[in-house]
Structure 1
């Protein structure tokens, strides 16, 4: 760790430990921080006085932020030792936000982001953004059930399968949008029209309202009882000059989805089906995905643990000479779809993914294995951002094996440490493509939230 990063982290840790008895919990989306607990607390620490400032009887102003430091290393990043692909780089992300609430009706939320990286040569758009507004939106509550939002926001729909905040990479995914939302005890319905923010590496230079790409959706979640729920949704996306293995053209597609998730007799289910239709240039789109996930609690060394199995089939194009495109578009999925190693994304894929996790006091351990195959031998292999990583140049299906592990330690409610390691053993498809060396990856995450 560089001296400046270590100094900053130690200062933040010192500040945090002054208020470590606080029962505050921080959301992944910081507008969801549970600061209302401070309203009833009489004896507050200095930190808590700054965190939440009452304004009159029904209004407040709160502040917060986070700092995340990550050294990340690869060996044979592109499955080949013939060129220099061994590297280590250092990612820094600082976010600071303020949240104004007025009379239970109006909210204004602003979140600045600075994402920096050192020692990496070939930068991706998700690596660097020196200074920008990650979120900046106003929300008006029409009544207890309806609210409307306008501005820039991170979004996660359902399980995050198609729309996620992209927490894994250094730069989160933001949308400029208009949104209408209904919510009661059992029903949530969200409708929005959004334009993804195109990240540029400088200071306040991200491209807003670039209509080369846009997305609109209606997303309905129904909680039938305490244990069983469904999501039903329609998402329409337009994107100019989209590249799939079969070529480049304008992509207009409608995604119709159904998700069912429940707890039943100690089993936890999360199953989802999506069908896509539309046009890609002069081709019709017919694509689909189906995923199943089941988890069961177990006792391991006297601690709460679980074992689970995920599997999914994701369509790929079956021919580059017909009038139909079958490649599934994962839209805006998690940047770390199968771990931070981020080599395989959700298109033209079949995978089997067993896993085990357990918690021991402040420690959490996760172990998983994934086997990947191409569903169609006429389509290539794509990365998490749905870019074509490895074109279809042979008839082999098996992509490879991935072994992963995560060890996390919660120092207190402010500070978390996590070490992730992954190994990918190339399968026949990569071997026949001339990519036959084992990939090694590790990333250490040190994050402070306040």
Structure 2
């Protein structure tokens, strides 16, 4: 090993730090969930360089403390035949970067102030830029927490701009994979009682804009929810849990293949998840009802549903510890766009990269089977290979993108099969702070896309490096 490599290795070890008695919280995509106040105790510190930025005492007794942190992400993407050849530009290659610095002030056990900025932009991307591509400087999050005991329970009131993420993020997500994540101006209450956690919120999503401090609320859309989750203590499982929820949603200008109108939608759902003896599962059932229309009587009714499953088994005794997985999902479509009932499922605020690094279609009027194989190549590297087959659930409804935009109307074809996607992802993770990936994806159109417009195979490649502390 050369002197330069030895110096780099020593610097990395000093940054990460040796093992110590108090384990630090994992670095997450929702940085506000991390709590570093354990570092106020000197014996809990390991000497890692990042610790100097955490739990900085602002009073001699540590009653008030400040933690700071940062995420830096660099990403390169190249796409050929975007939108199966119907998009303009059809081919593009570009870079994306973002920085997410934050500060977390805690005063005793009752008050907390959290602030996070976003600086994000695209380099070399052909116009037009999409809203999630650039937000040159703006407030990503800025909220206050007030904590108070509620008998045997603990309550928190959170007010301000904040990220919201629940369950598998199929319906409410921070949209982390996009260059600009999603946040809401919201009021949220959190109650923790025994093994239960119950959240309730009311808010509007933030509409990102590219210039300085110009983000504002999306005036068209409002959401409110009640979400309960708890772990299940089952002898035959390593871990298990159950979520139950209600989500309300209003959109003043919603568009579907059946037309555009006001939308008032209610979603109820159950999610079961866990691990046991090498198996893992994450199953979710969702039902939706409400009103869609502009007439004085409230318009037509909404009746929609979705079922999403993710099941896998990891062979821990085999070389590379392969995990075989299968995702099977179905989201209802509209059976008759000419009647007064809308049956297209709406995933509301879904996660980015919903079906993989490439996600040209969203979970509206869709069925898919998604087998996968994951391999642990080493402690740092893993490889994932997957294939996805897509069908329309209803032949009278179209295909939508992830934001709900109608890509192809269902009126131009009676074919059900949409297409096939394949993907390879090589991932890297070292210590707490460094992650990276390289991916390649291809989406080959099926009969429906060939009948309804351009139908060239999409090719997509991505490369990403992330640093956090």
TM-score, normalised with respect to structure 2: 0.89
Measure how far apart 1:188 and its partner are.
Answer: 0.9
Q: What are the Cα deviations for residues 335-386 of structure 1, in whole angstroms up to 9, with x where unaligned?
A: 1111121201010000001111122211121111110000011111111112
Q: Aligned with 2:189: secondary structure? A: strand
Q: What are the Cα deviations for residues 373-409 of structure 1, in whole angstroms up to 9, with x where unaligned?
A: 0001111111111211222221111011110111111
Q: What corresponds to 1:441 in structure 2?
A: 460
Q: 1:62 aligns with which of 57, 67, 72?
A: 67
Q: Whole-Å Cα distance in 1 between the matches of residues 397 and 86 of structure 2?
A: 26
Q: What corresponds to 1:190 in structure 2?
A: 199
Q: What are the Cα deviations for residues 18-39 of structure 1, in whole angstroms up to 9, with x where unaligned?
A: 5122664312111123524533
Q: What corresponds to 1:278 in structure 2?
A: 290
Q: Whole-Å Cα distance in 2 between the matches of residues 42 and 436 of structure 1?
A: 58
CA RMSD of the aligned region, Å?
2.2
CA contact (8 A) 1:71 1:443 kept: yes
Measure how far apart 1:264 and its partner are.
Answer: 3.9
CA contact (8 A) 1:406 1:420 kept: yes
Measure how far apart 1:195 and its partner are.
Answer: 0.7
Measure how far apart 1:59 and its partner are.
Answer: 3.0
Q: What corresponds to 1:49 in structure 2?
A: 52
Q: What corresponds to 1:175 in structure 2?
A: 184
Q: Aligned with 1:432: secondary structure? A: helix
Query: After the TM superposition, which segments of 4 or more aligned residues of structure 1 sit over 6 Å from their partners?
Result: 12-17
Q: Whole-Å Cα distance in 2 between the matches of residues 13 and 203 of structure 1?
A: 39
Q: What corresponds to 1:214 in structure 2?
A: 222
Q: What corresponds to 1:361 in structure 2?
A: 379
Q: Whole-Å Cα distance in 2 between the matches of residues 264 and 229 of structure 1?
A: 12
Q: What corresponds to 1:30 in structure 2?
A: 31
For residues 242-281 of structure 1, the aligned pairs below 5 Å read: 242-281=254-293
1:378 aligns with 2:396: yes
Q: What are the Cα deviations for residues 156-204 of structure 1, in whole angstroms up to 9, with x where unaligned?
A: 1111110011011100000011111111341111011011111111111
CA contact (8 A) 2:278 2:316 kept: no
CA contact (8 A) 1:348 1:375 kept: yes
Q: Whole-Å Cα distance in 2 between the matches of residues 413 and 83 of structure 1?
A: 40
Q: Whole-Å Cα distance in 2 between the matches of residues 385 and 445 of structure 1?
A: 23
1:235 aligns with 2:247: yes
1:133 aligns with 2:142: no
Q: What are the Cα deviations for residues 50-99 of structure 1, in whole angstroms up to 9, with x where unaligned?
A: 33302323431010011101110001112139986221011010110000
Q: Whole-Å Cα distance in 2 between the matches of residues 125 and 145 of structure 1?
A: 38
- Mark the CA change 1:250 to 1:14 in structure 2 (over 3 Å): closer, same or farther: farther
Measure how far apart 1:13 and its partner are.
Answer: 12
- Mark the CA change 1:285 to 1:43 in structure 2 (over 3 Å): closer, same or farther: closer
Aligned positions, number: 438
Q: 1:306 aligns with which of 295, 300, 323?
A: 323
Q: What corresponds to 2:90 in structure 1?
A: 85
Q: What corresponds to 2:3 in structure 1?
A: none
Q: What corresponds to 1:97 in structure 2?
A: 102
- Mark the CA change 1:13 to 1:135 in structure 2 (over 3 Å): closer, same or farther: farther
Q: Aligned with 2:462: secondary structure? A: strand
CA contact (8 A) 1:94 1:115 kept: yes
Task: Give ranges in structure 2 of 5+ residues lacking alignment.
Answer: 1-7, 294-298
TM-score, normalised with respect to structure 1: 0.92
- Mark the CA change 1:410 to 1:223 in structure 2 (over 3 Å): closer, same or farther: closer
Q: Aligned with 2:404: secondary structure? A: coil
CA contact (8 A) 2:66 2:104 kept: yes
CA contact (8 A) 1:406 1:418 kept: yes
CA contact (8 A) 2:16 2:50 kept: no
CA contact (8 A) 1:411 1:417 kept: no
Q: What corresponds to 1:39 in structure 2?
A: 40
CA contact (8 A) 1:335 1:385 kept: no
- Mark the CA change 1:96 to 1:322 in structure 2 (over 3 Å): closer, same or farther: same
Q: Whole-Å Cα distance in 2 between the matches of residues 122 and 84 of structure 1?
A: 8
Q: What corresponds to 2:159 in structure 1?
A: 150
CA contact (8 A) 2:304 2:345 kept: yes
CA contact (8 A) 1:13 1:415 kept: no
Q: Aligned with 2:227: secondary structure? A: strand
Q: Aligned with 2:389: secondary structure? A: strand
- Mark the CA change 1:412 to 1:78 in structure 2 (over 3 Å): closer, same or farther: same
CA contact (8 A) 2:289 2:303 kept: yes
Q: 1:316 aligns with which of 333, 344, 349?
A: 333
Q: What corresponds to 2:416 in structure 1?
A: 397
Q: What corresponds to 1:159 in structure 2?
A: 168
Q: Whole-Å Cα distance in 2 between the matches of residues 247 and 324 of structure 1?
A: 12
Measure how far apart 1:107 and its partner are.
Answer: 0.8
Q: 1:123 aligns with which of 118, 126, 129?
A: 129
